[in-house]
């Protein structure tokens, strides 16, 4: 079972409805590149996967989210992105938060990390409550943050890039120290020093204590991990586990999906028990 170990130990981690964890990882032994995301929010959202076909002007792409807004995704060129909520910053003059589906636009028009950054500048986007992680098939990856009136770029060093809900360039702004960030980092280090073969499954399982079990909030809504995505960017393989279930799993060959000519929408509630 691909996601069995992901749910081990989650009860040790306090739940937060707007939490999120993202990992971009380069397997030094094989050259493969993986991306893992845990999307934590209220569990009653109508989450889905959207697959858009290739056109003359747009790349084929897959994104996941709700309310016609891409929380994260990947395109046919191997460009991956995801975003996470961070402490609020002052808005930058001349820039704004997106009014439309920014993630879909980036995936439709960008084949690399550098091209994604250009889209942000062309659209005059500066998120004041989130940061974004971009990674591509070449091994390039960056976290984009907008702090105190400036855009900050945290480029990958070594073979991994991790983000949760604190600003890498300003941890003191809030949400730090972060148990989830430390847990993922520590588990990767343990795996890399163990001498074991590293696979997407094992990298995915480093999120074991980063995902969030369902818990009731003050407004009587249940929050927790809505879904966890696992992507082999090199081999175009995509997996998604809905609500921490080993049974509610979607497995897609992106090469096949991106070759299709029709738009597809996969409602995650329809795959649940």
* Tens digits of residue pLDDT in 165-188: 999 999 999 999 999 999 999 999
DSSP string covering 216-231, please? E-TTS-EEEEEEEEEE
Report the distance separating Cα 255 and Cα 235, nearest Å: 9
The two tokens of residue 129 are 């409550």
Residue in this structure with the two tokens 């964890």, named with its chain if needed? 21
> Which residues face 65 on adjacent strands?
48, 70
The residue-averaged pLDDT of 218-239 equals 93
CA torsion through residues 86, 90, 93, 97, sign: positive
- Residue 179 DSSP code: H
The two tokens of residue 190 are 């343990």
Q: Is the pLDDT of residue 2 over 80?
A: no
Q: Could you report how far apart the first and last alpha carbons of the chain are, in Å? A: 17
The two tokens of residue 31 are 């050259």
The residue-averaged pLDDT of 101-110 equals 98
By CB neighbour count within 10 A (0-12 exposed, 13-18 middle, 19+ buried), where does 205 fall? Answer: buried
Domain 4-271 classification at class level: alpha beta
Residue in this structure with the two tokens 């380069």, named with its chain if needed? 26
What pLDDT, on a 0 to 100 scale, did the predictor assign at position 19? 83
What pLDDT, on a 0 to 100 scale, did the predictor assign at position 175? 96
What pLDDT, on a 0 to 100 scale, did the predictor assign at position 14? 38
3-state secondary structure at position 272 = coil
The residue-averaged pLDDT of 60-67 equals 97
What pLDDT, on a 0 to 100 scale, did the predictor assign at position 17? 53
Report the distance separating Cα 100 and Cα 120, nearest Å: 13
The two tokens of residue 132 are 């974004």
The residue-averaged pLDDT of 107-122 equals 98
Q: Around Cβ 146, how many Cβ atoms within 10 Å?
A: 26
**Contact between 33 and 234 (Cβ < 8 Å):** yes
Instruction: pLDDT band for 9, please (50, 70, 90 cuts).
Output: very low
Report the distance separating Cα 231 and Cα 137, nearest Å: 12
What pLDDT, on a 0 to 100 scale, did the predictor assign at position 214? 85
Report the distance separating Cα 87 and Cα 241, nearest Å: 28
């Amino acid at each position: 079972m691909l996601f069995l170990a992901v749910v081990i130990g989650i009860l040790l981690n306090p739940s937060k409805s707007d939490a999120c964890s993202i990992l971009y990882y380069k397997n030094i032994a094989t050259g493969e590149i993986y991306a893992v995301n845990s999307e934590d929010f209220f569990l009653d959202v109508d989450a889905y996967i959207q697959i858009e076909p290739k056109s003359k002007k747009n790349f084929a792409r897959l994104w996941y989210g709700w309310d016609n807004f891409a929380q994260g995704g990947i395109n046919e060129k191997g460009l991956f992105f995801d975003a996470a909520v961070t402490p609020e910053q002052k808005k930058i003059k001349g820039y704004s938060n997106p009014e439309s589906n920014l993630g879909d636009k980036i995936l439709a028009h960008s084949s690399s990390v550098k091209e994604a950054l250009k889209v942000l500048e062309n659209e005059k986007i500066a998120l004041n409550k989130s940061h974004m992680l971009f990674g591509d098939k070449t091994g390039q990856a960056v976290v984009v943050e907008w702090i105190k009136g400036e855009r900050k770029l945290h480029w990958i060093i070594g073979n991994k890039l991790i983000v949760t809900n604190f600003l890498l360039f300003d941890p003191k702004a809030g949400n730090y120290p972060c148990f989830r960030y430390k847990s993922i980092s520590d588990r990767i280090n343990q795996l890399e020093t163990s001498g074991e073969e590293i696979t997407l499954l094992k990298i995915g399982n480093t999120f074991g204590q980063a995902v969030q079990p369902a818990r009731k909030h003050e407004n009587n809504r249940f929050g927790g991990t809505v879904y966890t995505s696992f992507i082999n960017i090199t081999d175009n393989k995509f997996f998604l586990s809905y609500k921490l279930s080993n049974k509610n799993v979607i497995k897609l060959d992106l090469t096949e999906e991106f070759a299709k000519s029709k738009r597809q929408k996969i409602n995650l509630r329809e795959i649940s028990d």
